[in-house]
Chain A
Amino acid sequence: MKYIDEFRDGELAQSIARAIKAEADPASTYHIMEFCGGHTHAISRYGLEDLLPANVRMIHGPGCPVCVLPIGRIDAAIWLARQPGVILCTYGDMLRVPGSKRLSLLKAKAEGADVRMVYSTMDAIKLAQSNPDRQVVFFAIGFETTTPPTAVAIKQAQALELKNFSVFCNHVLTPSAITQILDSPEVRELGTVKLDAFIGPAHVSTIIGSRPYEYFAEEYQRPVVIAGFEPLDVMQAVRMLVRQINEGRFEVENEFARAVTRDGNEKAKSLVADMFELRRVFEWRGLGMVPYSALRLKEPYAAWDAERRWDVPQDNPGDNKACECGAILRGVKKPIDCKLFGTICTPENPMGSCMVSAEGACAAHWTYGRFRDLEKSE
């Protein structure tokens, strides 16, 4: 298939794998963090670990917007869904995420709340138009990729003078999260987690461009390669990073040039800048309170802000204490290091966020790669 098959060519993957093996110094170990859940998913789904030499280690980062949303925000969405007359709509993979007391939007729906899955923000607008006597709340989540469509929906609601549409905004920002990881004591001081390089986000970068990563590369002296989500993209990015590490360079390189430019999508960026402002601080699951890492609607758009329309609870009950999602999201631990992994925490009965989303590190490892743990133990 055009634009897909080209990036899933097995022979080409094998030849890149040979090149990585030839270039990787056997005396060194290369620790490469892929920030995005999309990359984590690709690595697991296509079995790319089998193609990499043992001294090139992939560390799964926090880049799944579903995984990083704290329990309190899920609880708040469930609370909104239960308000009289409300239809709460959101993207599919949010529905199963457990809040506190093992409740999820799917369970709230089964108990009578009107929760709908939508494919786009425009579906949410249509819902509001076709249900004038109900309040339609769009539970907006995601990184820079999904923010512009939320902005477009609000513009549309404004143009249509829709009084029954609002957004529960949970959009978060990638660069702040990367800074938080690099500034964490494990990475910066203790050295318990070695991070030599980053594979930079694909879809996020189509919006913000590659320029925001130049700061990391220089300030933290870590090379970054922006890469697409196809398996050959990931393999090529690993090769480019191994080469940069070998040469002692720390630059931002763009493997995903077919979709990403240095400055990104100016129109989308200006739309977002016009409508949203930074929250002073926002909690990320696993990373804690991250300054200036999330967005909220600006005052002129307050009419479409669910948090202003309702007195949305701001509590955060916190994660299950035995759950290691926090450490796994920061790359400090692997899924197999968590006592709950595969015992009481599975995709059917997820305890933590990393197991909930298909792109979470635990779900990806359980679903695609757990045979490796058994092979090692036998």
Chain B
Amino acid sequence: MTLPRRAHPRPLDIQNGRVDLTHGGGGRAMAQLVEELFIAAFDNEALNQRNDQGAFEVPGGRMVMTTDGYVISPLFFPGGDIGSLAVHGTVNDVAMAGAKPISLSAGFIIEEGFPLSDLKRIVTSMAKASKDAGVPVVTGDTKVVEKGKGDGIFITTAGIGIVPPGVEISGDKARPGDAILVSGTMGDHGVAVMSQRESLGFETEILSDSAALHTMVAAMVAAVPGIRVLRDPTRGGLASTLNEIAGQSGVGMLMEEALVPVKPQVLGACELLGLDPLYVANEGKLICICAEEDAPRLLDIMRSHPLGRDAARIGACREDAHHFVQMKTRMGGNRVVDWLAGEQLPRIC
């Protein structure tokens, strides 16, 4: 008998094939999926050893670890997809501690019947995002659930990183008088996703801002190690994130509506849908709270980075026993900018 030269005589039929339960069963079909799709795409020394874990060198310092789950619909949207989003989101969660991201893990929960071509598209995009960011996916996991028990694909990730000595960034460090900065326009990601989900044909295509922010953060932290707070305003948008920080730090905040950058097309889409861009998700933006005197320097650094060109100082922290986030409106009045209650739902008229 002649043994086949390859472990899997027939390669995966990416174009027409679909994920079935054997792809998650731990046998040959799963090994083939992992080898021909995941390892081929993520391709790095730690992963290529095919262990159940990835081993790698780490520099000295404090370590951070984060985990996240991605359950987005639609899976593909203008400016990204669930794969690149999973990498960017996790890299950013690590970076918001001022840390240098070292490596990622990725767990895939795939619904039976999911087209292999879509899976390949997602994995390829994820691998590119990871390579562009210089943060490898060193270990992973694949499970397949029966049809009807998933929503196409879910991805869970973990990320680890190292915090340089002297950096102590945390959500409880904002103080009255500190400046509040944002790295760019608010609401791009949420509106891009919504425009696809609801099949709304806007005249101008709005792209998601999904991006890995760690290189910009590295430059900011190198210049101002004493940054108080960094956070990416993802779900719940700018408003919810500021409320979170205000509560953690025990301060109030006052921002100025006229200073908050929002793209006109995002503002237009929000008007149409009855949404407030302050509550719409971002995936490639950060909020930075720093001492007032550090603000100009940090703004210069952000603005000189391609992902921070529209960076702006939008307000300041202040004493407030109620920890209200308030906003001076363009009209000259004041209002509370509250937590988002549930999900933003479009108004009827």
**A118 to chain B: closest residue by CB:** B198
**A232 to chain B: closest residue by CB:** B331
The listed residue (A143, A367, A371) touching B349 by CB distance below 8 A is A143
Contact B333 A47 (CB under 8 A): yes
Contact B333 A51 (CB under 8 A): yes
CB-CB under 8 A for A94 and B348, given A10-B258, A348-B342, A371-B322: yes
Q: Which residues of B contact A367 (CB under 8 A)?
A: 336, 338, 341
A19 to chain B, nearest CB (A): 14
Contact B331 A8 (CB under 8 A): yes
Q: Which residues of A contact B (CB under 8 A)?
A: 1, 4, 8-10, 13-14, 17, 38, 44-51, 65-66, 91-96, 117, 119, 141-143, 145-146, 203, 231, 235, 346-348, 357-359, 366-371, 374
A122 to chain B, nearest CB (A): 11
Contact B349 A46 (CB under 8 A): no
Tell me, yes or no, whether B1 is within 8 Å of chain A by CB: no
CA of A142 to CA of B348 in the docked complex: distance in angstroms? 7
Task: List 17 A-B pairs, Cβ < 8 Å.
Answer: A4-B267, A10-B329, A13-B330, A13-B332, A48-B331, A50-B333, A92-B347, A95-B345, A119-B200, A143-B349, A145-B349, A346-B341, A347-B341, A367-B336, A367-B338, A371-B322, A371-B336
CB-CB under 8 A for A91 and B348, given A1-B268, A4-B268: yes
**A117 to chain B: closest residue by CB:** B345
Q: Which residues of A contact B335 (CB under 8 A)?
A: 44-47, 368-369
Q: Which residues of A contact B328 (CB under 8 A)?
A: 47
Contact A93 B346 (CB under 8 A): yes
Chain B interface helix/strand/loop/mixed: loop
The listed residue (A142, A358, A371) touching B326 by CB distance below 8 A is A371
The listed residue (B200, B267, B326, B330) touching A10 by CB distance below 8 A is B330
Contact B333 A92 (CB under 8 A): no
Contact A231 B338 (CB under 8 A): no
CB-CB under 8 A for A368 and B336, given A46-B331, A48-B331, A348-B341: yes
Q: Which of B309-349 contact A (CB under 8 A)?
A: 322, 324, 326, 328-336, 338, 341-342, 345-349
CA of A361 to CA of B183 in the docked complex: distance in angstroms? 35
Contact B349 A203 (CB under 8 A): yes
Q: Which residues of A contact B60 (CB under 8 A)?
A: none
CB-CB under 8 A for A51 and B331, given A4-B267, A371-B322: yes
CB-CB under 8 A for A50 and B332, given A10-B258, A346-B341, A371-B324: yes
B149 to chain A, nearest CB (A): 15
Contact B198 A119 (CB under 8 A): yes
CA of A237 to CA of B326 in the docked complex: distance in angstroms? 26
Contact A65 B332 (CB under 8 A): no
CB-CB under 8 A for A146 and B334, given A119-B200, A348-B341, A348-B342: no
Tell me, yes or no, whether B205 is within 8 Å of chain A by CB: no
Identify 6 new A-B residue pairs, CB closer than 8 A, beyond the known A10-B331, A17-B332: A4-B268, A10-B329, A50-B333, A96-B345, A348-B341, A369-B336
Q: Which of B235-273 contact A (CB under 8 A)?
A: 258, 264, 267-268, 271, 273
Contact B338 A1 (CB under 8 A): no
Contact A14 B332 (CB under 8 A): yes
Contact A49 B333 (CB under 8 A): yes
Q: Which residues of A contact B342 (CB under 8 A)?
A: 96, 347-348
Contact B349 A38 (CB under 8 A): yes
Q: Which residues of A contact B346 (CB under 8 A)?
A: 91-93, 117, 119
**B252 to chain A: closest residue by CB:** A371
